[in-house]
Every structure is written in structure tokens, then in C-alpha cells.
Amino acid sequence: APLVDVGANLLDPMFQGEYREKARHPADLPAVLSRALGAGVERIMVTAGSLQDSRDALAMCEGSGGRADWPRLFCTVGVHPTRCGEFEAAAGGPRAYLSELL
């Protein structure tokens, strides 16, 4: 049966080779995605926890379009509860921040 990963943190810097803000190895996201497909994962939901994450997740999903060697990528758009202070700190206030997400 096909598998779906419903909570992949693919925006984490570790997939760019960074751990604790230090470069440790070359970026390996393409290899990770290829291995996932090889293991039967056909779809992945990339999670976003902020406005910038949401933009980055959308760009990642749009940029992956039609790659036969990767699972299909989808994403969430939203703000994780631990980062909800970004609503208050946003220029224009919470409503402006929310409209940027939409």
C-alpha cells in the first residue's frame, strides 16, 4: 500500500547539512526524498510553522512539480502555537499577518 508522510519537517536546516548552526555535511534533501519514494512513500506533507515557513514550503512544493524520483509534495500553511507571538509582533498587527498567510 502507498504511504503518506503527514508531518515532514523538510524545511529544517539539517536537510541543508546544518546542525546547531554549523555545516556538517552537504545538503541531502534530494537524496532523502528519493529514498522516501524508494521505500514506498508516495506523498509528503511539508509542515510550516510561520509565515516565512509557509512561503518556503509553498516554494518547495511548487519547485518539485512532476519529479518522477520524488514523492509528490504538499504543504501546510499556518503558524505553530509556539510561534504565535509573531502575530503580535508583525508590522500591521495580527490581522495583517493572518492576511499574509491567506
Domain tally, the chain: 1
Query: Which residues, at least 6 apart from 15, have a Cβ–Cβ distance to it below 8 Å?
Result: 27, 28, 29, 32
Domain extent at residue 80 = 3-101
pLDDT in tens, the chain (102 residues): 889 999 999 999 888 888 788 888 787 999 999 999 999 999 999 999 999 999 999 999 998 877 899 999 999 998 889 988 888 888 888 888 888 877
User: pTM for the complete prediction?
Assistant: 0.84
Single-letter code of the amino acid located at 88:
E
CATH of the domain at 86: 3.20.20.140
